[in-house]
Amino acid sequence: MFLKFLRLEIKSFFRGTSLGINLTMKILRFIGILYFMGCLAGGAFLVFFLVQEEMHQDPIKVVSKFLIAAWIVDLALKYLWQEIPTQNIKPFLTLNIRKNTLVNYMLTKSFLSAFSWLNSLFFITFAAIALFKGYSFPGMLVWFIGVSAIFYLNNFLNIFFNDKETVAIIAGIICVVLGVLGYYNIIPILSYSEKIFYSFYEMNYAAVVPVILFVVLWLLCFRYVRKEFYLDQGLEAKKTIGKTENIAFLNKYGAIGTFINNDIKMLRRNKVTKGILLGSFMFLFYGLLMFTSSMYKTPAMMMFMGLFVTGGFQFLFGQRVPAFDSSYYPLMMTLNVPYKEYLKAKWWLMNIVTAVSIVIALCYAYFGWEVYITFFAAGLYNIGVNSQFTLWSGAFNKTQIDLNSKEKRLGQKNSFNMVSMFLLIPKMLLPMAVFALTKYFFGITAGVVSIAFLGFIGFLLRERIFDIIVKLYKKEKYNALDAFKNKG
């Protein structure tokens, strides 16, 4: 039966209406997977020989020491990005197929995701090197089985935590607290990790515990999913009671104020948009990378950081216009919606948040005023230029967005287009190049002024640019309608 399900998915892939884009995304994903496979395999070689020959320590002990941190990061990545494969199962619920078979297939399919098995490549390579260097074969085999079983537990935890944001937040807070306690040696977390994971190598029977945990969690997860596995229950879209709220003072600004009012309410109410707000807040700390690597202290990378620190909300929100409105976009297009005011509302909202980000970025003045004025210039460029280019790229984003469920898919087929790729040149590469060259030849003041001047020119030309963007959105309107209506 499992093979039949796989054959049906292959047929679905090749019979889809977007075969070309599907193939392109599969190829890009395959290239990305190959890249990470090379990084993980190469990382195993690097870690083993660096620890053994440079640090003169036992590689297995050192790796075991940091596996607890790797396990937490793996769980976080799965929760944020690994999609639970329930959508492809829905059509089979009306057929005469045992639900036990469907649930087991869904659980098994979750292990086929690259998020599940990529980390095993590091452990396989590391174990092979250890065997070549004379380590015990039974010890390494049991160590590999035990470590892999613990990492595969994250697949089940991801299913339990899925759509339980409160539980996930509490778990995240606990991990952060434990990390702080471990960092200040209040609780020796890494020492405990070394003892637990290294025991798999020293005591072969110790790996029985994670294997038993794996089996128990599989059964618990099976029962949990099986209980919710009905069209009118677990897989049904969640319904919530609507709340009426209004930001009255915005209505005096006409259609633009009304649209901003609606967008603010959307941002406050839905899971996806709450994630956008959280991501935008996290972007404010992106500039701290500058102080962890010398590479980021170059002028071009300083500008790159400034664009992200001040424009996080703009990049995350703007490029999803009008995808955020995909659920009612067909209805909206039947009404007399002033398209220019609709886009201007998005533009004003993005720039208001960008301006607030510029003020918050004042904290970076602690590391020097040169850093802050670079970020300040980047913020002006985001307001004057990137805000419009971001809306421009949004016209080609035809990915349907369910506002009431977390986005977990990377590289969705309708979100990929060459126009968006080309727009990265004026959005990112142009300000980086201009700032780096101007600063190199004329100093920091000239570099900041040049970027601010570009932002000022873009702001002055906004009306003409908006006319072009409006024509583009109207040209792409019917393609967007078709994409938003056809959910298959």
Tens digits of residue pLDDT in 3-18: 676 676 666 655 655 5
pLDDT of 413: 43
Per-residue pLDDT at 43 exceeds 60 = yes
Give the range with max mean pLDDT: 277-291, 332-346, 382-396.
382-396
pLDDT of 341: 85
Tens digits of residue pLDDT in 423-469: 677 788 889 899 989 988 888 899 899 999 999 998 998 888 888 88
pLDDT of 269: 77
Lowest-confidence segment of 93-107, 169-183, 197-211, 436-450 by average pLDDT: 93-107
pLDDT level of residue 395 (50, 70, 90 thresholds): confident
pLDDT of 380: 93
pLDDT of 366: 85
Residues 58-64, mean pLDDT to the nearest whole number: 92
% of residues, the chain, pLDDT over 90: 18
Per-residue pLDDT at 409 exceeds 50 = no
pLDDT higher at 119 or 231? 119
Residues 357-372, mean pLDDT to the nearest whole number: 88
pLDDT level of residue 354 (50, 70, 90 thresholds): very high
What are the residue ranges spanned by the domains of the chain? 2-227, 248-485
% of residues, the chain, pLDDT over 70: 80
Please, what is the average pLDDT of the chain? Answer: 80
Instruction: Look up the pTM and report it.
Output: 0.60
pLDDT of 14: 58
Per-residue pLDDT at 346 exceeds 60 = yes
pLDDT of 214: 92
> Which pairs from 278-284 meet CB under 8 Å and 24+ separation?
279/312, 279/316, 280/312, 280/313, 280/316, 280/317, 280/353, 280/357, 281/312, 282/312, 283/308, 283/309, 283/311, 283/312, 283/313, 283/316, 284/309, 284/312, 284/357, 284/360, 284/361
Tens digits of residue pLDDT in 93-146: 777 778 788 888 888 877 877 778 888 889 999 999 999 988 989 899 999 999
pLDDT of 23: 62
